[in-house]
């Protein structure tokens, strides 16, 4: 019997962030329903802080979906999380830049500030009654020691699992496996893996992250996403279906991807 | 000029020279293709001919075909019988790790190429590499195939575990690991060939598309025309502060440039940058209103805005 792993589909969040794409409310709801029929575990439905249209789409998805978990993506910001809480998603996902270039250059803050903000934001989100997950943005270029410190804090705060993001797609398989294994064995925190395809290794890294103990894996339909894209769903299933039971059929995934392709006519896809 | 075999000689020669520039050591082609450019190579001065043919490997079907190409020093063949000719690389297809034992009797061959092992990443691949090495020594060639979409990763892991002779194909044609992905992965992670000139990638891609009829996706790793386009507000802001925040390598290193597009996912910083790029004067308090209009229009048309559309929106508001 194959080990069970869970697919988190981020077509409607990281996928849609691909330059050139802009889904309207109806398209987002339609795609979410297709993903639910496909059997993915969780749909990352969007970024409420983007504005009224995005919030409307997430609220509508929450009204129409049946069993699938729906999450909303947030920066490390109380204001962003407030927008998410208004959408009443199943899961509030809080992204935390963790590499030094992200913390010191992009945020212009330091590690102490990040640990403090992480605690404040997680407490605030959990007080709304939502389940909370955390994202380690640019984890593949981060100090693993800092990731362990942050993971330990998040375990204490009640975060359900953390997303290890290879934000710029520079990981290779054995390192993906090793880093995921280290986080799980050192902190007990369950891990979700999020790949980018800059070096053509998104599917391979995702499989090896699962082999390292990750429980969840992020995919997008057609592999849409920033730069060279994310881990494409059917490509992932091609590599992983011999090892894991994700509850998603590759044949049906390809069919849904073809439906999306027809929606994207006129864009770069 | 098209050759007798239908290949354009000058384009093939140019393509080969560009491959050398990006860091490829040997170039393999079917003997029929080489036959079409053979005269062009022979008619060059001796040094140039040595440059062009010294790194060529011809794919042949029979031992006897080697005699027609005395200037070539390496041949690869799947079914040749000659076990003594040091110029010959014997290709062995291994589709499943259970077939590895077939390599046991090949240590009498001068050189061996192992092709296949598509699903090795899903197995204990380090053990598999070690087992192959115990049969063939360290000098065998490896051509991982891509039926599971993992050939680049297998190539990188093989190199990380001591492999030195790797067979790939440009763009991944023929179910191989894409040359450009392997080169960049090894450059980033292993500092392999850091000084080779990868700025010619767009020329290589254009020549390849012209010769093969294949069209690369705008998202194709390394080669895609839009891999350095950025729209998301958080990314545009980060890249403005330091491109390293959201780029795995500099776009200029592969002969391209980054471009900011505006649309549904833009933030105020992206609007400011776009206005400055287009040299449109603005007041700070106008930014949020422009952003909301851009987002509404982007959702309405279902895509990002062109510069002309952005200028039009700003023009109506000012």
CA B152/CA B171 separation, integer angstroms: 11
Say if the Cβ atoms of A19 and B231 lie within 8 Å: yes
Expressed as residue numbers, the domain containing B114 is: 9-196
In a domain, B214, yes or no: no
For residues B8-24, average pLDDT? 91
B219 contacts in chain A (CB < 8 Å)? 18, 197, 223-224, 227-229, 268-269
Interface of A with B in 101-140 (CB under 8 A): 101-102, 105-106, 108, 138
Domain match, B189 and B275 both = no
Q: Is some CB atom of chain A closer than 8 A to the CB atom of B30?
A: no
CA B148/CA A236 separation, integer angstroms: 9
A174 contacts in chain B (CB < 8 Å)? 157, 160
pLDDT at residue B2, rounded to an integer: 46
CA B110/CA B126 separation, integer angstroms: 24
Domain match, B180 and B132 both = yes
β-pair type (B111-116, B88-94): parallel
Higher pLDDT, B47 or B57: B57
Helix %, strand %, coil % for chain B, to 5? 50, 15, 35
In a domain, A82, yes or no: yes
Domain match, B297 and B188 both = no
Domain match, B187 and B61 both = yes
Domain match, B16 and B87 both = yes
Whichever domain contains A87, its CATH number is: 3.20.20.70
Interface of A with B in 236-265 (CB under 8 A): 238-240, 242-243
For residues A11-30, average pLDDT? 94
Q: Is some CB atom of chain A closer than 8 A to the CB atom of B94?
A: no
Q: How do residues B72-83 score in pLDDT, each as one tens digit?
A: 989 999 988 777
For residue B307, the tally of other CB atoms under 10 A from its CB is 14
CB A176 within 8 A of CB A208: yes
Supply A106's token pair: 């992009």
Supply A26's token pair: 């109806």
Domain match, B54 and B161 both = yes
Q: Is some CB atom of chain B closer than 8 A to the CB atom of A52?
A: no
pLDDT at residue A57, rounded to an integer: 98
For residues A212-231, average pLDDT? 97
Q: Is some CB atom of chain B closer than 8 A to the CB atom of A167?
A: yes
Say if the Cβ atoms of A168 and B221 lie within 8 Å: no
> Apex CA B227: angle with CA B223 and CA B228, to 5°?
120
Least confidently predicted of A253-257, B37-41, B205-209, B218-222: B37-41
Say if the Cβ atoms of A267 and B152 lie within 8 Å: no
Instruction: Examine the fold and report which residue of B154, B177, B196 is the final residue of a domain before the chain moves on.
Output: B196
Q: Given pLDDT bands bounded at 50, 70 and 90, which one contains residue A122?
A: very high
For residues A30-49, average pLDDT? 97
Q: How do residues B82-91 score in pLDDT, each as one tens digit?
A: 778 889 999 9
pLDDT at residue B8, rounded to an integer: 82
DSSP lists the bridge partners of residue A196 as A230
**CA proximity to A40, closest of A203, A246, A242:** A246
Higher pLDDT, B4 or A3: A3
Which residue of chain A has the CA closest to B153? A201
Q: Given pLDDT bands bounded at 50, 70 and 90, which one contains residue B4?
A: very low
Q: How do residues A41-98 score in pLDDT, each as one tens digit?
A: 999 999 999 999 999 999 999 999 999 999 999 999 999 999 999 999 999 999 999 9
In a domain, B153, yes or no: yes
Nearest to B226 among A19, A24, A243 (CB): A19
Average pLDDT, chain B: 90
In a domain, A269, yes or no: no
Q: How do residues B242-283 score in pLDDT, each as one tens digit?
A: 999 999 999 999 999 999 999 999 999 999 999 999 999 998
CA A30/CA B287 separation, integer angstroms: 32
Say if the Cβ atoms of A199 and B188 lie within 8 Å: yes
**Cα A76 to chain center, whole Å?**
15
Distance, in angstroms, between A161 CA and closest chain B CA? 23
- Spatial CB neighbours of A154, under 8 Å, sequence gap ≥ 6: A118, A122, A134, A162, A189
The secondary structure of residue A11, as a DSSP letter, is I
**CA proximity to A31, closest of A58, A49, A7:** A58
| pLDDT reading at B294 higher than 60 | yes
For residues A3-31, average pLDDT? 95
Whichever domain contains B120, its CATH number is: 3.20.20.70
Say if the Cβ atoms of A227 and B178 lie within 8 Å: no
Q: How many domains does chain B have?
A: 2
CB A85 within 8 A of CB A92: yes
pLDDT at residue B148, rounded to an integer: 97
Global pTM value: 0.95
Expressed as residue numbers, the domain containing A192 is: 3-263
Q: Given pLDDT bands bounded at 50, 70 and 90, which one contains residue B111?
A: confident
In a domain, A167, yes or no: yes
| pLDDT reading at A10 higher than 50 | yes
CB A2 within 8 A of CB A238: no
CA B139/CA A122 separation, integer angstroms: 54
Sign of CA dihedral A208, B191, B141, B135: negative
In a domain, B179, yes or no: yes
In a domain, A7, yes or no: yes
Domain match, B172 and B243 both = no
Run of H or E including A126: helix A111-127
In a domain, B302, yes or no: yes
Tell me phi and psi for residue B142, to 5 degrees.
Answer: -130, 130
CA B202/CA B22 separation, integer angstroms: 11
% of chain B exceeding 70 in pLDDT: 94
ipTM of predicted complex: 0.95
Q: Is some CB atom of chain A closer than 8 A to the CB atom of B303?
A: yes
In a domain, B216, yes or no: no
DSSP string, B243-299: GGGT-SS-GGGGT---EE-BSTT--HHHHHHHHHHTT----GGGHHHHHHHHHHHHH
**CA proximity to A126, closest of A75, A87, A91:** A91
CB A97 within 8 A of CB A139: no
| pLDDT reading at A40 higher than 90 | yes
CB A40 within 8 A of CB A248: yes
CA B175/CA B192 separation, integer angstroms: 24
pLDDT at residue B310, rounded to an integer: 96
In a domain, B2, yes or no: no
Q: How many domains does chain A have?
A: 1
Which residue of chain B has the CA closest to A139? B245
pLDDT at residue B129, rounded to an integer: 95
pLDDT at residue B52, rounded to an integer: 67
Average pLDDT, chain A: 96
- Spatial CB neighbours of A28, under 8 Å, sequence gap ≥ 6: A12, A16, A45, A46, A57, A60, A61
Size of the A and B interface in Cβ pairs below 8 Å: 172
Q: How do residues B167-186 score in pLDDT, each as one tens digit?
A: 999 999 999 999 999 999 99
Domain match, B14 and B150 both = yes
For residues B189-200, average pLDDT? 86
B119 contacts in chain A (CB < 8 Å)? 242
Q: Is some CB atom of chain B closer than 8 A to the CB atom of A203?
A: yes
């Amino acid at each position: 019997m194959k080990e069970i792993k869970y697919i988190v589909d981020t077509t409607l969040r990281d996928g849609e962030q691909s330059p050139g794409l802009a889904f309207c409310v109806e398209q987002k709801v339609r795609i979410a329903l297709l993903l639910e029929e496909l059997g993915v575990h969780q749909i990352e439905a969007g970024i409420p802080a983007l504005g009224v249209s995005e919030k409307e789409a997430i609220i509508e998805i929450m009204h129409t979906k049946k069993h699938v978990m729906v999450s909303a993506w947030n920066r490390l910001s109380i204001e962003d999380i407030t927008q998410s809480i208004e959408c009443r998603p199943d899961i509030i996902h809080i992204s935390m830049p963790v590499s030094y270039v992200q913390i010191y250059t992009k945020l212009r803050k330091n590690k102490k500030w990040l640990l403090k903000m992480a605690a404040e934001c997680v407490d605030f989100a959990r007080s709304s009654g939502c389940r909370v997950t955390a994202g380690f943005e640019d984890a593949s270029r981060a100090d693993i020691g800092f990731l362990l410190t942050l993971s330990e804090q998040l375990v204490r705060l009640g975060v359900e699992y953390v997303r290890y993001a290879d934000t710029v797609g520079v990981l290779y398989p054995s390192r993906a496996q090793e880093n995921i294994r280290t986080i799980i064995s050192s902190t007990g925190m369950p891990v979700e893996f999020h790949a980018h395809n800059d070096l053509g290794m998104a599917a391979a890294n995702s499989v090896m992250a699962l082999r390292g103990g990750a429980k969840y894996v992020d995919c997008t339909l057609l592999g849409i996403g920033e730069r060279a894209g994310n881990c494409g769903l059917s490509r992932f299933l091609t590599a992983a279906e011999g090892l894991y039971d994700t509850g998603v059929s590759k044949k049906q995934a390809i069919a849904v991807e073809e439906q999306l392709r027809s929606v994207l006519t006129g864009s770069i896809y | 000029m098209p050759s007798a075999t239908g290949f354009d000689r000058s384009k093939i020669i140019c393509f080969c020279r560009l491959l050398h520039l990006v860091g490829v050591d040997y170039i393999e082609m079917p003997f029929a293709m080489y036959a079409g450019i053979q005269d062009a190579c022979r008619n060059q001065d001796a040094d140039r001919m040595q440059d062009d043919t010294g790194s060529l490997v011809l794919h042949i079907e029979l031992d006897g075909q080697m005699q027609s190409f005395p200037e070539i020093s390496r041949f690869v063949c799947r079914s040749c019988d000659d076990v003594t000719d040091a110029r010959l690389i014997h290709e062995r297809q291994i589709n499943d790790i259970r077939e590895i034992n077939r390599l046991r009797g090949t240590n009498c061959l001068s050189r061996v190429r192992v092709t296949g092992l598509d699903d090795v990443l899903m197995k204990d691949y380090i053990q598999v590499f070690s087992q192959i090495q115990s049969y063939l020594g360290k000098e065998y060639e490896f051509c991982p195939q891509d039926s599971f979409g993992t050939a680049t990763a297998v190539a990188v892991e093989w190199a990380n575990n001591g492999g030195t002779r790797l067979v790939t194909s440009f763009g991944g044609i023929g179910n191989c690991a894409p040359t450009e992905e392997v080169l960049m992965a090894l450059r980033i992670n292993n500092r392999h060939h850091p000084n080779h000139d990868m700025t010619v990638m767009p020329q290589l891609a254009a020549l390849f598309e012209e010769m093969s009829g294949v069209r690369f996706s705008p998202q194709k790793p390394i080669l895609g025309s839009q891999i350095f386009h950025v729209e998301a507000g958080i990314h545009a802001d980060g890249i403005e502060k330091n491109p390293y925040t959201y780029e795995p390598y500099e776009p200029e290193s592969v002969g391209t440039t980054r471009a900011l597009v505006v649309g549904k996912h833009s933030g105020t910083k992206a609007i400011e940058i776009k206005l400055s790029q287009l040299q449109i004067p603005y007041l700070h308090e106008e930014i949020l209103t422009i952003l909301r209009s851009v987002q509404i229009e982007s959702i309405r048309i279902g895509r990002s805005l062109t510069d002309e559309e952005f200028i039009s929106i700003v023009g109506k508001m000012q």
